[in-house]
């Protein structure tokens, strides 16, 4: 069970990067630059997520320092979203420095990111992280790994809602949708806006079935940390869908010259 997350995390990274080469062509961007920003964002996000994991599970790392080299420790909810936010910041900064259209870069990376998250969720399922609430339904999953108990506090021998599978399926379907939309010739930002809007709603709702999260104190227990991030994503769709100038289709723009 322990190596499975690392394997699937590696598969998720490779699959996402390979897909980004295709989506870069959809948006008319240089695939080499898209590959570079993808690698930089992944590296920065992984490093920050690892530091967050060390802070959250300091006792476990003290007992087994070799876990610093393991990808499994990145499978938790909190550090995962911290790493994701860091990666997004790197994408924006890189695009600005390279004078790339930020909306187009985000469009390019939307489907690859959702595909990677879908595969990563299966890794969480195998590792026992991001587990669901106890359930009496037929789909309940039982865990018996001491490692999952120590790292994530996963209940042992109790049927849990397979929320990781639900996340994997929803992210995969959304990845397919936004990849298809990338071929429609939409204005830049529309693909990423759809991905953020759909992903934000899905992940916000699935938090109600998560058994490994705690409400934020400053929200009066109304929201979890992930739900707060999802609300920020939903707010970000306003910028992605808003056009600062009147848009013209390419053929109309050429005709007006």
- The domain limits of the chain are 2-245
* Residue-wise pLDDT tens digits, 7-34: 888 899 999 999 999 999 999 999 999 9
User: How far is the C-alpha of 105 from the C-alpha of 73, rounded, in Å?
Assistant: 29
Region 142-160 average pLDDT:
87
User: How far is the C-alpha of 173 from the C-alpha of 132, rounded, in Å?
Assistant: 21
How distant, in Å, are the alpha carbons of 96, 103, 163 from that of 92? Answer: 6, 9, 31
pTM: 0.85
Three-point CA angle 192, 178, 203, nearest 5°: 70
* Residue-wise pLDDT tens digits, 222-249: 888 788 888 988 998 988 988 665 444 5
pLDDT at residue 214, as a whole number? 77
Task: Supply 232's token pair.
Answer: 């920020």
User: How far is the C-alpha of 168 from the C-alpha of 131, rounded, in Å?
Assistant: 13
pLDDT band at 82 (very low <50, low <70, confident <90, very high): confident
Does the pLDDT value for residue 195 go beyond 60? yes
DSSP line for 8-47: HHHHHHHHHHHHHHHHHHHTT--HHHHHHHHHHHHHHHHH
């Amino acid at each position: 069970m322990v190596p499975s997350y690392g394997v699937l995390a590696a598969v998720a990274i490779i699959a996402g990067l390979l897909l980004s080469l295709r989506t870069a062509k959809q948006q008319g961007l240089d695939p080499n630059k898209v590959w570079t920003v993808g690698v930089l964002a992944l590296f920065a996000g992984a490093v920050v997520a690892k530091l967050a994991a060390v802070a959250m599970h300091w006792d476990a790392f003290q007992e087994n320092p070799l876990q610093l080299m393991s990808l499994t420790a990145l499978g938790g909810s909190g550090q995962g979203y911290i790493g994701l936010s860091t990666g997004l910041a790197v994408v924006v900064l890189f695009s600005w420095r390279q004078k790339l259209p930020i909306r187009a870069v985000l469009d390019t990376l939307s489907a690859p990111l959702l595909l990677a998250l879908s595969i990563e969720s299966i890794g969480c399922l195998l590792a026992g992280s991001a587990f669901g609430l106890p359930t009496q339904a037929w789909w309940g999953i039982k865990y018996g790994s001491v490692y999952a108990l120590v790292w994530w506090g996963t209940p042992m021998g109790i049927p849990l809602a397979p929320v990781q599978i639900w996340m994997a399926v929803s992210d995969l379907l959304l990845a397919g949708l936004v990849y298809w939309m990338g071929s429609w010739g939409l204005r830049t930002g529309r693909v990423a806006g759809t991905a953020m809007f759909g992903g934000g709603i899905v992940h916000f709702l699935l938090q109600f079935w998560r058994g490994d999260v705690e409400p934020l104190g400053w929200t009066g227990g109304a929201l979890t940390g992930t739900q707060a991030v999802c609300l920020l994503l939903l707010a970000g769709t306003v910028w992605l869908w808003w056009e600062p100038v009147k848009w013209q289709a390419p053929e109309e723009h050429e005709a007006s010259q």
